[in-house]
């Protein structure tokens, strides 16, 4: 069996593969290069599945995925730190280091590799050699263009006033001979001793929820999240000297364009959801039918309310902001924001678009809903709408204390509330598409929000 055929046999089963609905994948090898002194081959493979053709990066030993290989991790870090290159058949793999040459090193020794986080659309690794620990993210699905994780990470790493994220140290990209550039991986400092906000808050909520003994600890973390979110928006909104980051005054045309994007996205999501009805459990399918029966109302709401004119400047934002994208360091709690790549289901162009900060706020509010519903599903504490209202209010009060008076925050509280509501609706629609494609057992969460 050829390498491509062997990859095709296991590719549909992995989390980061976009065409999961297909039992098989038509895989062809686009480019490859052997890593010097190792048995690892870095391969770029094309797959026609799920109605589209996508490219993926797959380190291989034989025909098996070798992302957890110590040889691969050591080569990647060394290539980034030394800004080395590797010539493949149809392009060049290049390392890029943000600190000055020689500031970073990866001294000889044994390299240990462990998976970071759960099953996700990328592969994240903890790479350890001696006293140095690195967080490496391998972007499995290749996208040609400027990667927000690199672009924002580089800006924040050079911002002396911002210390709210582990520093980006460098990245690995692939430049095809045909032109363009694809970011394959990033290398960050590793924040030791941290849990994600999801992992940190989960046990606290399960211990009786907001009616239980950990109420104060929960609200302390949520307030800290509100403050760091506003600080993040300050950092992203103060680079008027950079064309891709300079805040812009929204026009009526900008508002109409955003409303059209939301409405068109919702229409497409509902069309895909209709095709999945027969694959869902009876009760979930029944709820989905109710939502689909009101699709015109939802689309009209998005088209109407997203078109509200606001005085708040549009800035670069995180773009996929939720409890899994923030680390919590104790004591404190001190939040550290990670993963600035944006929503994986959207194009790089969409992810880099300057928009309302309400996009990030809505993402975190929706994540609070997931947190409470997860606890209810596990049977540890019942779901209460009042708990969600309290979490959102605590987060927003802390956020507004920093954001009030900033050019990117609406001066009119009524408009701020309306924008936040429409971005929450848009996020719930995005979640519906995401869960149908990747986690069907979670579809009921965005459905409940839409209902």
Q: What is the pLDDT of residue 100?
A: 66
**Are residue 360 and residue 374 in the same domain, yes or no?**
yes
On whether both 328 and 294 belong to a single domain, the answer is yes
Residues 182 and 199 in one domain: no
Residues 120 and 232 grouped into a single domain: no
Per-residue pLDDT reduced to its tens digit, 51-77 = 678 999 999 999 899 999 999 999 999
Q: Which of 165, 189, 213 is the last residue of a domain?
A: 189
Pair (78, 201) in one structural domain: no
Range of the domain at 20: 3-189
* pTM (2 d.p.): 0.93
- Would you state the pLDDT for residue 154? 95
How far is C-alpha 257 from the geometric centre of its chain's CA atoms? 23
Same domain, 135 and 120: yes
Same domain, 27 and 169: yes
Q: How confident is the model at residue 332, as a pLDDT?
A: 82
pLDDT digit string, tens, across residues 419-429: 999 999 999 99
Q: What is the pLDDT of residue 57?
A: 96
Among 113-127, 376-390, 412-426, the range scoring the smallest mean pLDDT is 113-127
Of 174, 189, 204, the one marking the end of a domain is 189
Residues 175, 139 share a domain: yes
* 314 and 423 housed in the same domain: yes
In the chain, pLDDT over 70 holds for what percent of residues?
95
Are 166 and 222 in the same domain? Answer: no
Domain count, the chain: 2
Are residue 80 and residue 127 in the same domain, yes or no? Answer: yes
Based on the fold, state whether residues 230 and 181 are members of the same structural domain.
no
Boundary-marking domain end, from 126, 155, 189: 189
Mean pLDDT rounded to a whole number for the chain:
93
Q: Which CATH number goes with the domain that contains 386?
A: 3.90.1200.10
pLDDT grade, residue 119 (50/70/90)? low
């Amino acid at each position: 069996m050829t390498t491509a055929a062997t990859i095709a046999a296991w590719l549909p089963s992995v989390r980061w593969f976009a065409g999961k609905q297909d039992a098989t994948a038509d895989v062809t090898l686009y480019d490859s290069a052997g890593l010097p002194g190792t048995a690892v081959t870095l391969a770029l493979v094309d797959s026609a599945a799920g109605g589209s053709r996508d490219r993926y990066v797959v380190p291989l030993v034989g025909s098996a995925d070798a992302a957890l290989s110590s040889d691969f991790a050591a080569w990647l870090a060394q290539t980034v730190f030394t800004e080395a290159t590797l010539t493949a058949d149809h392009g060049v793999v290049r390392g890029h280091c943000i600190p000055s040459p020689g500031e970073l090193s990866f001294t000889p020794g044994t390299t240990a590799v462990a998976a970071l986080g759960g099953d996700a659309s990328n592969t994240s690794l903890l790479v350890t050699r001696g006293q140095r620990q690195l967080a490496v993210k391998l972007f499995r699905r290749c996208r040609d263009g400027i990667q927000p994780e690199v672009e924002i990470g580089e800006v924040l790493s050079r911002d002396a006033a911002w210390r709210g994220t582990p520093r980006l140290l460098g990245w690995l990209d692939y430049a095809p001979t045909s032109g363009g550039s694809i970011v394959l991986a990033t290398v960050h400092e590793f924040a030791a001793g941290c849990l994600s906000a999801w992992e940190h808050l989960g046990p606290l909520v399960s211990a009786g929820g907001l009616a239980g003994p950990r109420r104060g600890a929960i609200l302390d973390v949520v307030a800290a999240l509100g403050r760091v979110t506003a600080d993040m928006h300050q950092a992203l909104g103060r680079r008027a000297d950079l064309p891709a980051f300079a805040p812009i005054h929204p026009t009526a045309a900008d508002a109409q364009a955003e409303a059209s994007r939301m409405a068109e996205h919702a229409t497409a999501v509902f069309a895909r959801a209709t095709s999945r009805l027969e694959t869902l459990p009876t009760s979930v399918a029944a709820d989905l039918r109710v939502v689909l029966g009101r699709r015109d109302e939802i689309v009209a709401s998005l088209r109407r309310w997203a078109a509200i004119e606001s005085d708040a400047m549009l800035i670069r934002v995180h773009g996929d902001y939720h409890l899994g994208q923030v680390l919590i360091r104790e004591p404190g709690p001190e939040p550290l924001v990670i993963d600035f790549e944006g929503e994986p289901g959207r194009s790089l162009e969409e992810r880099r678009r300057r928009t309302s900060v309400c996009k990030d706020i809505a993402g975190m509010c929706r994540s609070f809903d997931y947190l409470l519903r997860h606890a209810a599903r596990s049977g540890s504490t019942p779901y209460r709408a009042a708990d969600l209202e309290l979490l959102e209010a605590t987060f927003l009060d802390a956020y507004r204390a920093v954001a009030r008076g900033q050019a990117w925050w609406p001066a009119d509280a009524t408009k701020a509330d309306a924008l936040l509501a429409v971005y929450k609706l848009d996020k719930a629609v995005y979640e519906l598409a995401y869960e149908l494609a990747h986690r069907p057992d979670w579809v009921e969460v965005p459905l409940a929000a839409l209902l």
